[in-house]
Structure 1
Amino acid sequence: MVNPPNEQRRNEKSRRAILDASLELCTEKGYAAVTVEGIAARAGVSKKTIYRWWQSKGAVILEAVVDAADASTDFPDTGDIAADLHAQLTQVVRLFEDPRSGRPLRALLLIESHQDPGLAGQIRELLVDSRIATFNQRMRRAQDEGQIVADVDLDVVLDQFYGPIYHRLVLNMDLPDHDYLGKIVDYVLAGITQG
């Protein structure tokens, strides 16, 4: 497993410059063409500084993507599970479509995670697990409120809601639009709602 960066040794201004530079370069050149040297040059820091805080280019870009995802993919709780699911799925699609975060996020999930088991673990820990936990919490509230059946398997439901997005990413197809996301929500909820 890759060691996490030492947070106490970081200078926040340099950290932010590095993360911003990594996303800018991914947007301009594509993930594959980005190097640690290029990130360092753009950020105005040494390559040694980057390697002191991160193990690889992928780890730097993962942290930048996590920052972007944290700011844009909250799971709302308005009391209306259908509206909340639609809003959250829309946010996920927007994250993937965002020119600044989408390209590196796709590369991390579809390429780097399959080549680097340590980075795959970090992706799961920093980007995926907390979002699954938030999904499960929101769905349990919907169960408690009687909006969905109590004995539904939340792992299966998770796959039904998010699978269409990742299926399209893997096959390099257009992501679901607003109307299609609404249909996903309607179809899945029809199978797990009371009465």
Structure 2
Amino acid sequence: MRATLELGEELGYARLSIEAVAARAGAGKHTIYRRWTSKGALFLDSLLSLNEPGLDYPDTGDVIADLRRQIHTAVDLLSRPPMGPLYVALLVEAQHDPQVADALDERFIAPQAEKTIARLERAREQGQLAPDFDLDLAMAILSGPLYFQHLIARRPLTHDWVDRLIDTLFAGMGPR
């Protein structure tokens, strides 16, 4: 997996191959294919093996501060190598490989969404959010602009931009 990440950084995902990974790792190509069915599956496992810290939500009692801290951490990870470019490459691959898309959702996106929704549920129970606000929709509203800004508009994700997003969202989510 380390060889996959190194080559992913050096060559980019498009030029990455199982053969190159096998050569770098000193392993046989068949050894790799016994464990991973595709380059995308190997790449996903390799990226998730980085175990980047800080993507869990704190619970300070202030949901806005907690969201800011967690999303700032995520933005910081996406803005620098190796995580940023490698994650973008993985998202691109997921658009072409349904197995990679399903695995990415199951192993990273859905668990992160569950953590966000759980934090929002606690905030709602504490009266920090409107009791009838759709938390799944809140998750989509929080994450959608981040992906749009980073992947489509290709503009930097900054703490200031995240703060404006959170402030705008909470203007509509707060208790009435």
TM-score (norm 2): 0.92
Report the equivalent of 2:68: 86
User: Are the equivalent residues in 2 in contact too, given 1:136–1:154 (CA < 8 A)?
Assistant: yes
Where does 1:144-159 land on structure 2 (aligned, <5 Å)?
A: 144-159=125-140
Question: What SS does structure 2 have at the residue aligned with 1:92?
Answer: helix
User: Are the equivalent residues in 2 in contact too, given 1:23–1:101 (CA < 8 A)?
Assistant: no
> Is 1:113 equivalent to 2:90 in the alignment?
no
CA distance in 1, matches of 2:54, 2:34: 28
Superposed structure 1 runs of 4+ greater than 3 Å apart: 69-72
1:101 to 80, 83, 86: 83
* CA deviation after TM superposition for structure 1 residue 79, in Å: 1.5
Report the equivalent of 1:190: 171
Q: Number of matched residues?
A: 176
Report the equivalent of 1:170: 151
Report the equivalent of 2:7: 25
User: Are the equivalent residues in 2 in contact too, given 1:72–1:95 (CA < 8 A)?
Assistant: no
TM-score (norm 1): 0.84
* CA deviation after TM superposition for structure 1 residue 94, in Å: 2.0
* CA deviation after TM superposition for structure 1 residue 177, in Å: 0.7
Question: What SS does structure 1 have at the residue aligned with 2:50?
Answer: helix
Report the equivalent of 1:6: none
* CA deviation after TM superposition for structure 1 residue 124, in Å: 0.9
1:126 to 71, 87, 107: 107
CA distance in 2, matches of 1:172, 1:26: 23
RMSD: 1.5
Structure 1 gaps of 5+ residues are 1-18
1:161 to 142, 157, 160: 142
* CA deviation after TM superposition for structure 1 residue 175, in Å: 2.7
Q: Which amino acid aligns with 1:129?
A: A
Q: Identity of counterpart residues, as a percentage?
A: 36
CA distance in 1, matches of 2:83, 2:31: 23
User: Are the equivalent residues in 2 in contact too, given 1:89–1:162 (CA < 8 A)?
Assistant: no
Structure 2 gaps of 5+ residues are none
User: Are the equivalent residues in 1 in contact too, given 2:63–2:123 (CA < 8 A)?
Assistant: yes
Q: Which amino acid aligns with 1:64?
A: S
* CA deviation after TM superposition for structure 1 residue 81, in Å: 0.6
CA distance in 1, matches of 2:51, 2:66: 17
User: Are the equivalent residues in 2 in contact too, given 1:112–1:119 (CA < 8 A)?
Assistant: yes
